[in-house]
Copies of this chain bind each other. A is one copy, B any other.
Amino acid sequence: MEEFILTIRCDDAPGIVLAIAEGVVEAGGNILESDQYSDVITGLFCIRIRFEAQLGSLDSARATIMAKVSRFEPNFLLRTLSHRPRALLMVSKYDHCLFDLLYRWQRGEMPIEIPLVVSNHNDCRELVERHGIEFVHLPVSAATKTEAEARLLELLTEHAIDFVVLARYMQVLSDDLCRVMSGRIINIHHSFLPGFKGAKPYHQAYERGVKLIGATAHYVTAELDEGPIIAQDVVRVEHAHSADGLAIMGSDVERVVLSRAVRLHAEDRVALVGSRTVVFD
């Protein structure tokens, strides 16, 4: 027996759950876990199912289930539980988020493949290569930005990348790239959005005198710091903490939140419904 993950998202309509259940049974599956939600705002139906079945052809299982549900014109994904999506990580100089992702990946806690890490600086090369992962230095300047993004797109194709993680990558991506990779780029913003958008959020937080600071992992859209939120968390701070102290405490929250978002995405637990996310956790 092997385990499978099935996710479906489509306009809500009567009979969809029955059709899915029929498909899974016809494919020989026994449902172990199921989460479903119908979003009121968008009218979208989202489901994530884990089922077990005899190891057979994934393609034939797909065809069997799809035959039952195709009339709902679903966004449809079926894969084995053990399949690991391929992530490209991007980083600039701050290494704490990258560090945490690699650490969890090495321990087997992060169900992704990491074919390569791309950076506009060379600072993290040793860290990456020590893990046996290819490091690509892709400098970006105003003059080379278009060329660099073209190269990045090539890398995405060459390495069959499923999604991109901006682990404190400090360059803004072009609108084109955001569109092409819509719902497949995860960024960590070092504040509790929508508070403190833009640059130097810890300094903003220090000057405002907040009592909690936070971090937000979200999908990247063309509009800066406005994409659908996947995960957020905060930590309590006090008057005695300097702006630098906030940055240190905040970096702990950043890495936890980003790692959590990457795991949720990699496990197909996040469904996009308009500008918001449904998270099955």
A238 at the interface (CB under 8 A from B): yes
Question: Count of chain A residues with Cβ under 8 Å from any Cβ of B?
Answer: 61
B208 touches A194 (CB 8 A): yes
Q: Please, how many angstroms separate the alpha-carbon atoms of A109 and B252 in the complex? A: 11
Contact of A239 among B47, B275, B277 (CB under 8 A): B277
A232 touches B210 (CB 8 A): yes
Q: Is the interface of A mostly helix, strand, loop or mixed?
A: mixed
- Chain B residues in 8 Å Cβ range of A228: 209
B14 touches A25 (CB 8 A): yes
Q: Please, how many angstroms separate the alpha-carbon atoms of A34 and B21 in the complex? A: 13
A31 touches B25 (CB 8 A): no
B192 touches A240 (CB 8 A): no
A158 at the interface (CB under 8 A from B): no
A142 at the interface (CB under 8 A from B): no
Q: Please, how many angstroms separate the alpha-carbon atoms of A119 and B196 in the complex? A: 34
A211 at the interface (CB under 8 A from B): yes
- Chain B residues in 8 Å Cβ range of A240: 33, 37
Nearest-Cβ distance from residue A240 to partner chain B, whole angstroms: 6
A188 at the interface (CB under 8 A from B): no
Which residue from chain B places its CB closest to the CB of A242 in the assembled complex?
Answer: B40
B109 touches A99 (CB 8 A): no
- Chain B residues in 8 Å Cβ range of A17: 21, 24-25, 31, 34
Contact of A194 among B24, B38, B195, B278 (CB under 8 A): B195
List residues 230-248 of chain A with CB under 8 A from any CB of chain B: 230-234, 238-240, 242, 248
A36 touches B40 (CB 8 A): no
Which residue from chain B places its CB closest to the CB of A279 in the assembled complex?
Answer: B239
Q: Please, how many angstroms separate the alpha-carbon atoms of A99 and B162 in the complex? A: 29
Contact indicator per residue, chain A 1-40, by CB within 8 Å of chain B (1) or not (0): 0000000000010111110111011000011111111111
B248 touches A109 (CB 8 A): yes
B276 touches A37 (CB 8 A): no
Knowing A25-B15, A33-B240, A39-B239, the reply to whether A234 touches B231 (Cβ < 8 A) is: no
